[in-house]
Structure 1
Amino acid sequence: MNSQPNFNLIARPYRWLEYLTLGPILQNCRTHFLPLLLDRKQALVLGDGDGRFLAKLLTRNPTLQADAVDTSATMLRLLRNRCEAATLTTTTRLRTHNRSALDHSPSAKTDLITAHFFFDCLPQQDLDTLIVRIAPHTSPNTLWLISDFRIPSGPMSLPAKLYIRSLYLAFCLLTGLRTTHLPDHEIPLRRAGLTRTHQRLFLFGLLTTEIWSRL
């Protein structure tokens, strides 16, 4: 099995697979803090899949420039097509990069980083490396918007662990993803000098969306 997962095969049905499992909840999670991003000027968008979040962001924030990074060329094509359908100015405001986020250096003007259900595809070591690589290129004004799965405490802990394990198994079979456990993004973000300023939990704590920044 290739160590690099291949998301091209699930790119087109991804939206419907998402709806069949959790309905609109994942998209609601992605867009919950959208009203707080309308003053951003330069975004680095990591693994936004078919672009449903980015299309809304570019529409709501008409001055935003964005760099979208993804290892899946098919996902990037869907993302660009969706964004161009949403706003006519996409062609001059969006750049796509078909590469690993670990190989991408953000613009010095970046004041927004988004990672929706992307960190969970990385082993802990790669996530630590990614944050260490990106953080020096950001300013104190940069917001980090992160949405991801989590293991809640209490009676929902065991069902959440079983559900997330089943998701990892499915993605292993469909894409070759080798990651099997949720990485901890809080520790490397705090080590990089960031603080979580906003958080909203969904589905009894199974999902989280958060904003981090330097205070």
Structure 2
Amino acid sequence: MSDSVRGYDRLARWYGVLEKPVFRKDLQLARVALLSELPPVDRILMLGDGDGRLLAEVLRTQPSARVTSVEQSPRMRRLQKRRVTQLGAEDRVRLVCQDARQWTAGGETFACVIAPFFLDCFTESELECHLPQWMALVEPGGWFYHVDFVVPAAGWRRLRATFWSAVMHRFFKWQTGLTVRELVPVEAFFDGADWVIQQTQTLNHGFVQSRLYRRNGLPLATLGHSPDDTRPPVGGM
């Protein structure tokens, strides 16, 4: 078991509590901020959702969707499973306990990929390697929902964000062996012709941001492709 997995296992029980001293409810508000902007979709991939608070809201707001959640921490996965069971949604969810960098979708694509406070865990070189792969899992006409910390451009908001970002990176380095030392902007990855930003919402004095991107192109169903053709069995909890 890696230092990262052991660390997130230790933190799993306290994850929600640790957010409140600095962010109060803002991180959870950011996680769910743009869910209402998503149209009904059938296949969702969630990367690094942690304790499953967002997963539960996705299941509520997307009652017809099948969800694959990839999370490396076994204890986080157990918390996700508990929330799924409470909602009676076991038949719609596949929980995968694996590092997302090593997980492969087996040819499946998704109508929406959700990355909540996940991409900030990676260095620039890791993002250059893996983020395009995760983006490629979004089918044409699909969505990428990104929630994360950002550093404002200037002023006291930038100073505040820089300070708390440094504190968080030191804490997670201590607890999980995180090697990232600063936030890496990811907006440039979505600047190409394939992606259009649909909505943005900012919280916590500009330090927390939710972004909803859409991939250009017609949905696969419109082109005569049935998503069920490649859908794996669900319920592998």
CA distance in 1, matches of 2:193, 2:73: 28
Alpha-carbon contact 2:150-2:185 (below 8 Å) kept = no
SS state of the match for residue 39, structure 1? Answer: coil
Give 1:99 shift. Answer: 1.1
Given the two structures, how large is their TM-score scaled by the length of structure 1?
A: 0.92
Give 1:192 shift. Answer: 7.8
Alpha-carbon contact 1:102-1:129 (below 8 Å) kept = no
Q: 5+ unaligned residues in a row in structure 2: which ranges?
A: 217-237
Alpha-carbon contact 1:194-1:213 (below 8 Å) kept = yes
CA distance in 1, matches of 2:55, 2:31: 10
Give 1:154 shift. Answer: 2.4
Q: Give matches, 1:24-103, under 5 Å.
A: 24-85=25-86, 87-88=87-88, 90-103=89-102
Q: Structure 1 residues 47-56 or 103-112, which shifts more? A: 103-112
SS state of the match for residue 205, structure 2? Answer: helix
CA distance in 2, matches of 1:37, 1:169: 35
Percent of aligned positions that are identical: 25
Give the letter for the 1:150 counterpart: V
Pair 1:105-2:110 in alignment: no
Alpha-carbon contact 1:131-1:189 (below 8 Å) kept = no
Deviations 1:117-164 (A, max 9, x none): 001111111122222213333222210001110110221111211110
Give 1:38 shift. Answer: 4.6
CA distance in 1, matches of 2:136, 2:37: 23
CA distance in 2, matches of 1:172, 1:163: 14
Give the letter for the 1:103 counterpart: Q
CA distance in 2, matches of 1:43, 1:192: 23
Pair 1:18-2:6 in alignment: no
> In the alignment, which residue of structure 2 is the partner of 1:150?
150
Deviations 1:24-63 (A, max 9, x none): 1100011011112350110000011101011011022211
Alpha-carbon contact 1:147-1:208 (below 8 Å) kept = yes
Instruction: Mark the CA change 1:126 to 1:83 in structure 2 (over 3 Å): closer, same or farther.
Output: same
> In the alignment, which residue of structure 1 is the partner of 2:228?
none
Give 1:187 shift. Answer: 1.6
CA distance in 2, matches of 1:192, 1:125: 22
Give 1:4 shift. Answer: 4.3
Q: 5+ unaligned residues in a row in structure 1: which ranges?
A: none
Aligned-residue CA RMSD in angstroms?
1.7
Give 1:169 shift. Answer: 0.6
Give the letter for the 2:104 counterpart: S
CA distance in 2, matches of 1:129, 1:196: 22
Pair 1:133-2:133 in alignment: yes
Give 1:203 shift. Answer: 1.5
Aligned length: 212
Given the two structures, how large is their TM-score scaled by the length of structure 2?
A: 0.84
Alpha-carbon contact 2:152-2:206 (below 8 Å) kept = yes
Alpha-carbon contact 1:135-1:192 (below 8 Å) kept = no
CA distance in 1, matches of 2:94, 2:79: 13
> In the alignment, which residue of structure 2 is the partner of 1:197?
198
Q: Structure 1 residues 105-114 or 63-72, which shifts more? A: 105-114
Give the letter for the 1:96 counterpart: L
